[in-house]
Amino acid sequence: MTSVDNARTNGQAMQTPPVVSPQDWEAARLQLLVKEKAHTRARDALAAERRRMPWMEVTKTYAFEGPGGKVSLADLFQGRRQLIVYRAFFEPGVFGWPDHACRGCSMVADQVAHVSHLNARDTTLVFASRAPQADIARLKKRMGWTIPWVTVTDSFDADFGVDEWHGTNVFYRDGSRIFRTYFVKSRGDEQMGGTWNYLDITPLGRQEVWEDSPQGYPQTPTYKWWNWHDSYAEGAAPDKKWVEISDAGEKAFREEAAGERT
């Protein structure tokens, strides 16, 4: 067993882990993997509990300014059942204005996955700020962001806990009725950006058959709905070749998992 002698940070020697043989490294990896799998199962269980949280009906009317003019909260769903709204700080008084949004909120925007994958799961993601639409359009073009982004014009931010700090609210639409189903902020907000993390905070979840969801919730076969972001077609059946490939991959995964348990 050896150590790294010359690793230094700010002139101080780093207390790096030991350097070991490939066999010892693999043993350490497998030991940690046990905890990582437990963490994954705990995360799935937490998402299942989140899907069973009570809902709060939104009875107040809210108005936003979009690229095409005034829009309501219902309009933000874009015809889908689920809506995720991230409050991004871009407005006078925010550090970076008018050239940039808040650095933290900009990091969130930079890591957002292509929204077509969320859309395929009946979910819309929207950013909301108090900056005028002209400034938002300019910023999006400069930074290469394509996320739908609206201007808050009333008390939406204050009413939903995001007037003084960033946060992510989740809503569900049932006909003309809208419900607030989840809210996360601060450290819980920093993991947002990936498709799976977003779906895990929605009331319907990833909508795959392996999930523990309440009875009657929409679920489709695992992997089968996945597609290239420019190839989703509403109502289209899964591609037959992709079904074959994903079935083979899932079978191999199940066999490997079964072998680890024996």
Compute the mean pLDDT over every residue in the chain, rounded to the nearest whole number: 93
Confidence band of 7 (pLDDT split at 50, 70, 90): low
pLDDT in tens, 50-65: 999 999 999 999 999 9
User: What is the pairing mode between strands 177-185 and 56-57?
Assistant: antiparallel
**Cβ within 8 Å of residue 97, ≥6 positions away:** 90, 91, 131
pTM: 0.92
What pLDDT sits at residue 231?
95
DSSP 8-state class, residue 16 = P
Residue 166 near residue 104, CB atoms below 8 Å: yes
Look up tokens 């709060």; give the residue.
56
Give the pLDDT confidence score for residue 109 in this predicted structure.
97
- pLDDT tens, 188-217? 888 899 999 999 999 999 999 999 999 999
Cis, bond preceding 98 (omega within 30 deg of 0): yes
Sign of CA dihedral 58, 62, 66, 69: positive
Residue 209: which residues within 8 A CB-CB, separation 6 or more? 219, 220, 221, 222
Confidence of residue 256 (pLDDT cuts 50, 70, 90): confident
Q: Which domains does the chain have, with CATH numbers?
A: 51-200 (3.40.30.10), 221-257 (no CATH)
91-136 confidence digits (pLDDT tens)? 999 999 999 999 999 999 999 999 999 999 999 999 999 999 999 9
The number of helices, as runs of H, and strands, as runs of E, in the chain is 8, 10
Give CA–CA dist 81/58, Å, rounded.
15
Which value, to the nearest 10 degrees, does the dihedral of the CA atoms of residues 193, 195, 197, 201 take? 110
CA distance 172 to 76: 11
Cα separation values, 145 from 74, 76, 122, Å: 23, 18, 21
Q: Which residues contact 143 (CB under 8 A, 6 or more apart)?
A: 106, 109, 110
Report the amino acid identity of residue 223: Y
Determine the Cα–Cα distance for residues 109 and 50; give it in Å rounded to an integer.
24
Q: What's the whole-number mean pLDDT along residues 61-79?
A: 98
Task: Give the Cα separation of 3 and 215 in Å (integer).
Answer: 54
124's enclosing H/E stretch is strand 123-129
Q: What percent of the chain has pLDDT over 90?
A: 84
Could you give phi then psi for residue 26, rounded to 5 degrees?
-65, -35
Q: Mean pLDDT, to the nearest integer, of 246-250?
A: 87
Distance of CA 61 to the CA centre of its chain: 26
Note the pLDDT of residue 249: 84
Report pLDDT for 6.
56
**What's the whole-number mean pLDDT along residues 77-84?**
98
